[in-house]
Structure 1
Amino acid sequence: MKRWKIAIVGAGHMAQEHARAIHSLTEVDIAGVCSRTRSRAEALAQTYSVPVFNSIEEMYDATRADAVVVAVNELSMPEVCGECFRFPWVCLLEKPAGVDLAAAERILDNSRRTGSRAYVALNRRSYAATRQALAELAADDSPRLISILDQEDQEAARGAGQPEEVVRNWMYANSIHLIDYFSFMARGDVVSVEHGIPWSPDSPGFVVATIRFSSGDVGVYQVAWNAPGPWSVSVTNRSLRLEMRPIEKLAVQRRGERRLTDVAPESIDSEYKPGLRYQAEQLVEALKGHAPNLASLEEATRSMALCARIYGLGSRD
């Protein structure tokens, strides 16, 4: 059996979580670690008895790794991705792929120029609850109403030490998890985005938007900024209503029923950071030449573009 080698760029919390999920796969070896913070890189590498490298080029030359997981901060993504795209490994980029849409589009352009195979670790797509919801929806092709409740707190992000540029673009850094649900739960192309309550960067509060798709599906996005609220996703069609609140848990209400019924969760999302073990498995599927259930860089950039439209931040168009 071939053993796949996966390298890691970055050594912070998300790099550690990815490493733990990758290490659990029987046919995978962690090839090495590269990070600008040497002490963190050494600590992570010691956990898995792998070498530390001073540069991405050095790590690839020494390991010839099959894939690389890039888990660095948003502001570093363009430069680090540029380095990684020089080599013929499969890239899994931690979300978001850039601090804003313009940065994501530059990264996408770079990947196209170099012919790189790149995916983005939008891990809510890989939640067991999300996959269970999609399986339920597959049985009915009637129009869908997708309702998303979001809550964001720039002050909390600032207090956690996030750079000011990241705080200003917090919808790309964090709301993208929820906005991405429109991209794969709704069918067809985005026809229009109507703003019920527009984004006000000078006084963040409520934002409400309606997204219409060419399939007839409709999305409703509501967010409370710097105020309390849940994260939730619900989808309704003619035969059922699905609710994920919290996102890690699915409940179903079928036509004719009065109550939601919980769907038994998979244990894997309690053993690892939710979604990451499944993502690691799908990365191996990509290495085997199969179509992985991962967000391509193109798909992730479309979600960034939808985020920009919802918040009236403009796009490449």
Structure 2
Amino acid sequence: MILLIGAGPMAQEYAKVLQAQKQSFRVIGRSQASADEFELASGQTVYVGGLKNFCNSNELANYSKAIVTTGVEQLAETTRLLIENGVKQLLIEKPGGIDAKQIDALTSFAQEHAAEVFVAYNRRFYASVQKAIEIIEQDGGVQSFNFELTEWGHVIAGIPKAEGVKENWFMGNTTHVVDLAFFLGGFPKQLSSFTTGCTPWHSRSSNFAGAGISDSGALFAYHGNWGAPGRWSVEILTSQHRLIFRPMEQLQIQSIGSVAQEFTKIDDQIDKDYKAGLYKQVESFLRNEKQNLCTLAAQNENAKVYSKIAGYS
């Protein structure tokens, strides 16, 4: 049996996948309102009262795996509580904690308790990304890559979030695009980063640029401006192709000797039937197929890089 922690919109998406994969699971929520919405959407009963109360019921012994879908501000505490009560295999929503310090503490705690924790970066499992991986391998690897990490600051400013979430927005949300870029092109072994600006809700930075070399030997560059128009995008360059993720659910290809950029056909029906990337991500977690999953230990190292890019350190 699997525990699904949280009963919000993201938990509903996980429930759809678990039901499609014919998995038995128990949902733990806090409020009756979210539980009612979850039950209406999924037909699945929710335990109302929160994880602490559920732990006191001595039922956790029946569960070896958990998926944590709580808000960013609750991820580390919830994961720690599950590990303390004997759950040793967990898939937790990104980024694993509200900041690098919290992620580091959780990593140490998980290692001390021999728990296996993965951080859910579902874009790694997009059909477009898996197709790109095939092309990269055929072409002999990535030579260079670039990405844009612009967020729509004018929209984010009005989104209600718990204290500290928007102040750490880069870690909690923007790392989706950064993780994908480094997943495909290699994580930095050398990095120069620059930030300027700020917003009322993100005091340390709002304008980003930088470059470096990845551990695969690929050169990379990035930029993002949260006070100007833009969008997330990733471009991967090989000896034969430019692979363009804009939007990231789709793959455009420019071949050598051509200026044309054309969308390639991919088998992405599963990404249309469920939240994109989620089905394959859950499948990999449950089957213990770790190749494309982000371990908490890896995320702990990555978080140091993300903090540098964001101007947090």
Normalising by structure 2, we get a TM-score of: 0.88
Partner of 2:74: 76
Alignment of 1:63-142 (within 5 A): 64-86=62-84, 87-142=86-141
Distance 1:144 1:277 in 2: 30
Partner of 2:269: 267
1:198 and 2:195 are equivalent in the alignment:
yes
| 1:74/1:59 CA distance change after superposition, 3 Å | farther
Partner of 2:234: 233
Between 62-71 and 39-48, report the one with greater CA deviation.
Answer: 39-48
Q: Residues 65 and 89 of structure 1 are in contact (CA less than 8 Å); yes or no, is this contact kept in structure 2?
A: no
Distance 2:217 2:60 in 1: 52
Instruction: Find the partner of 2:19 among 23, 36, 42.
Output: 23
Partner of 1:283: 285
1:209-249 CA distances to partner (integer Å, 9 max, x unpaired)?
10212432112111111322121110012111100110100
Q: Residues 183 and 303 of structure 1 are in contact (CA less than 8 Å); yes or no, is this contact kept in structure 2?
A: no
Distance 1:157 1:126 in 2: 26
1:34-65 CA distances to partner (integer Å, 9 max, x unpaired)?
12223323542563444515434257726712
Q: Which amino acid aligns with 1:29?
A: S
Q: CA RMSD in A?
A: 2.2
| 1:62/1:92 CA distance change after superposition, 3 Å | closer
Partner of 1:209: 210
| 1:155/1:105 CA distance change after superposition, 3 Å | farther
| 1:153/1:203 CA distance change after superposition, 3 Å | farther
Instruction: Find the partner of 1:40 among 34, 42, 45.
Output: 34
| 1:59/1:140 CA distance change after superposition, 3 Å | farther
| 1:259/1:84 CA distance change after superposition, 3 Å | same
Distance 1:217 1:127 in 2: 22
Distance 1:60 1:247 in 2: 43
Distance 1:38 1:110 in 2: 31
1:293 and 2:292 are equivalent in the alignment:
yes
| 1:234/1:60 CA distance change after superposition, 3 Å | farther
| 1:204/1:256 CA distance change after superposition, 3 Å | same
| 1:83/1:42 CA distance change after superposition, 3 Å | farther
Q: Residues 176 and 303 of structure 1 are in contact (CA less than 8 Å); yes or no, is this contact kept in structure 2?
A: no
User: Per-residue deviation at 1:144?
Assistant: 2.0
Q: Residues 154 and 170 of structure 1 are in contact (CA less than 8 Å); yes or no, is this contact kept in structure 2?
A: no
Give unmatched runs, 5+ long, in structure 2: none
Q: Residues 96 and 173 of structure 1 are in contact (CA less than 8 Å); yes or no, is this contact kept in structure 2?
A: yes
Give unmatched runs, 5+ long, in structure 1: none
Q: Residues 283 and 292 of structure 1 are in contact (CA less than 8 Å); yes or no, is this contact kept in structure 2?
A: no
Distance 2:93 2:306 in 1: 17
Q: Residues 152 and 230 of structure 2 are in contact (CA less than 8 Å); yes or no, is this contact kept in structure 1?
A: no
Between 305-314 and 97-106, report the one with greater CA deviation.
Answer: 305-314
Partner of 1:61: 59
Q: Residues 147 and 223 of structure 2 are in contact (CA less than 8 Å); yes or no, is this contact kept in structure 1?
A: yes
1:14 and 2:27 are equivalent in the alignment:
no
Aligned partner of residue 91 in structure 2, secondary structure:
strand
Q: Which amino acid aligns with 1:250?
A: L
Distance 1:291 1:226 in 2: 37
Distance 2:147 2:58 in 1: 41
Aligned partner of residue 85 in structure 1, secondary structure:
helix
Normalising by structure 1, we get a TM-score of: 0.87
Distance 1:41 1:292 in 2: 34
Distance 1:203 1:57 in 2: 38
